[in-house]
Amino acid sequence: MKCKKIKVLLCLTATLSALLGGCSFHEGSDLPANGKVVQESENSGDSQQKDENQEAESSSQAIQETESESQEPEPVVTTVTISATGDCTLGATQTHGYEGSFHEYYDKNGEEYFFAGVKEIFEEDDFTLVNLECVLTDETARVEKKWNLKGRPEYTGIMTSSSIEGCSLGNNHTLDYGEASLTDTMSALDEAGIVYGYNDQTGIYTTDEGVTIGIVSVGLFSEKEQREKDIQNGIASLREQGVDLVIVACHWGVELDHYPTQYQQEAAHRIIDWGADLVIGNHPHVLQGIEIYNGKVICYSLGNFCFGGNRNPSDKNTMIYQHTFTFVDGVLQDQVEAKIVPCTISSIDSRNDFQPTIAEDDRKASIIEKVQDYSEPYGEIVFEDDGTIMIEE
């Protein structure tokens, strides 16, 4: 019996302890169970803060993405500056003796002499175009005519040493010593890396920026209809090849006349309508005016420049025409940004020393004034004191 009572008492004690323990669990504040509840509450706050931060970050990112999508990329702007000159006869006529001739100046002074006065301008542009009015050949059998203009094949070094990259061959002296002399000239230019145009043959030059410039060059004299077809076909061909700029060089007009003929003007307008970006004229041996037609520039004559064909021409005024073309995302813009650089064909007035020189002061102002007068019939154009071309509103 005693043992049984003790066993019952133990059971009662255990039951009472369990009941007291249960009450203590709910009221105590320092028990592990209570601590666990407190910890869960703190984790819940951190989780809420984390969610808010993530939501803010997502919202900020969404705003940035929206702003990025709404902002257009910066346009790519490319400029190309072209310089053009008048007739360059790198040689002499059959009537000249050696003394005082272009050949003597070359032998005494070297190839860099001739364009030393304007070389800096050519070096700063992207492309320089001259009218090569002679053949470069060793041929001696000349075509019978009053003046035959010829230089040596190595005279291409005169151009390459002075940053001249292109020339027009479509003129009335490219056959002065027969077909062989033209072939010799082209071979010399090809070897020197100088691009050229001649009748149905076009040339393409690529600038350091990757802009392509196409050259068409013809003489518009006895075969005007055929030569105009060469121009139209040449422009079309260059456009099909994706050329960015097309320059058409025309040999035309009346010698020593400062104003173009009606035919010159009509032909120039047709050439622009066919798709040319710039028309450069030569042959009169003197300066003529400049016209803007449908937003494109026509230089009717740039006169002589480095001209070995005459030892002492009475009119030594000349100029360099410079035009800066602007492309935005590969599209040519409409504005005309151009100027003339007044020059003389010689560094001295007493004779022709075959060294074109930039005109200064009164001579510069006088040349600009004359070109303004020659351009008067076409309206619109005004030349600033520095030669910049402005268009009247």
> What DSSP string describes 193-234?
T-EEEBTTB-EEEE-TTS-EEEEEEEE-STTHHHHHHHHHHH
Q: Is the pLDDT of residue 142 over 50?
A: yes
Q: Is the pLDDT of residue 17 over 70?
A: no
* Alpha-carbon distances of 176 from 69, 96, 136, 375, rounded to whole Å: 64, 15, 10, 33
Q: Is residue 375 a contact partner of residue 301, using CB atoms and an 8 Å limit? A: no
Higher pLDDT, 75 or 42: 75
pLDDT band at 71 (very low <50, low <70, confident <90, very high): confident
Q: Is the pLDDT of residue 200 over 60?
A: yes
Of the candidates 205, 181, 183, the one whose C-alpha atom is nearest the C-alpha of residue 194 is: 205
3-class state of residue 328 by DSSP: strand
User: Percentage of the chain with pLDDT > 90?
Assistant: 80
CA distance 173 to 200: 17
Mean pLDDT for the stretch of residues 73-83: 96
Residue 27: the pLDDT is 37
CA distance 136 to 45: 92
Q: Read off the pLDDT of residues 341-350 as tens digits, 9 standing for 90 and up.
A: 999 999 999 9
Mean pLDDT for the stretch of residues 319-347: 97
Q: Phi-psi region for residue 360, left (φ > 0), alpha (ψ -120 to 50) or beta?
A: beta
- 80-391 placed in CATH 3.30.200.20: no
CA distance 27 to 12: 23
Task: Count other Cβ atoms within 10 Å, centred on residue 203.
Answer: 24
Q: Read off the pLDDT of residues 186-196 as tens digits, 9 standing for 90 and up.
A: 999 999 999 99
Lowest-confidence range among 64-73, 223-232, 283-292? 64-73
Q: Is residue 163 a contact partner of residue 338, using CB atoms and an 8 Å limit? A: no
**Mean of all residue pLDDT scores within the chain:** 87
pLDDT band at 380 (very low <50, low <70, confident <90, very high): confident
Mean pLDDT for the stretch of residues 54-78: 67
Q: Is the pLDDT of residue 43 over 80?
A: no
pLDDT band at 25 (very low <50, low <70, confident <90, very high): very low
CA dihedral angle for residue 368, residue 371, residue 373, residue 379, rounded to 10 degrees = -110
User: Percentage of the chain with pLDDT > 70?
Assistant: 82
- pTM listed for this prediction: 0.82
pLDDT band at 34 (very low <50, low <70, confident <90, very high): very low
Residue 222: the pLDDT is 85
Quickly list H helices, 211-355.
224-240, 262-273
Residue 6: the pLDDT is 31
Q: Is residue 88 a contact partner of residue 133, using CB atoms and an 8 Å limit? A: yes
3-class state of residue 167 by DSSP: strand
Which residues does 305 contact at the CB level (< 8 Å), separation at least 6? 85, 86, 87, 88, 130, 131, 318, 343, 345, 356
> What DSSP string describes 43-111?
HHHHHHHHHHHHHHHHHHHHHHHHHHHHSPPPP-EEEEEEEEEEEEE-SEETT--STTSHHHHHHHH-T
Q: Is the pLDDT of residue 381 over 70?
A: yes
Q: Is the pLDDT of residue 54 over 70?
A: no
CA dihedral angle for residue 198, residue 199, residue 205, residue 211, rounded to 10 degrees = 160
Residues 228-241 as b or e (16 or more Cβ within 10 Å = b): bebbbebbeebeee
Q: Is the pLDDT of residue 59 over 80?
A: no
Residue 172: the pLDDT is 95
Residue 379: the pLDDT is 85
Residue 389's DSSP bridge partners are 383
CA distance 61 to 145: 81
CA distance 205 to 15: 108
